Structure 1
Amino acid sequence: MTLLEIIFAIILPPVGVALRYGISREFWINILLTLLGYIPGLIHAFIVLLRK
């Protein structure tokens, strides 16, 4: 996980996920979670970014 991905994951979680995976299933799940609330989107972004 790069510093840029971490910064974007904190500020705008879908952008951090998109930097790593592009416009994929993880990105759309993160968009949905972020719309439901910032914290679920943030948690999902860090889980996805730490996975690999």
Structure 2
Amino acid sequence: MNLETLKQGRNYCKSLTLNDRKILEEMLEDDFYIKFHELFRYMIDEDLKLEQEWFG
């Protein structure tokens, strides 16, 4: 998923769980996921996630 997809599906988003937030914060510290850091930061800041199977 990319940031644009997340923004387009905002009406279908759910709030992050504590576990979601923990995982995202851990991935923000890992350079392996560097190309997704902007997406992860947005998800944390906006408190949302999108389960893609629900977004058509």
For normalisation by structure 1, the TM-score amounts to 0.34
Q: In terms of Rg, which structure is larger? A: 2
For normalisation by structure 2, the TM-score amounts to 0.33
Select the structure that is richer in helix: 1
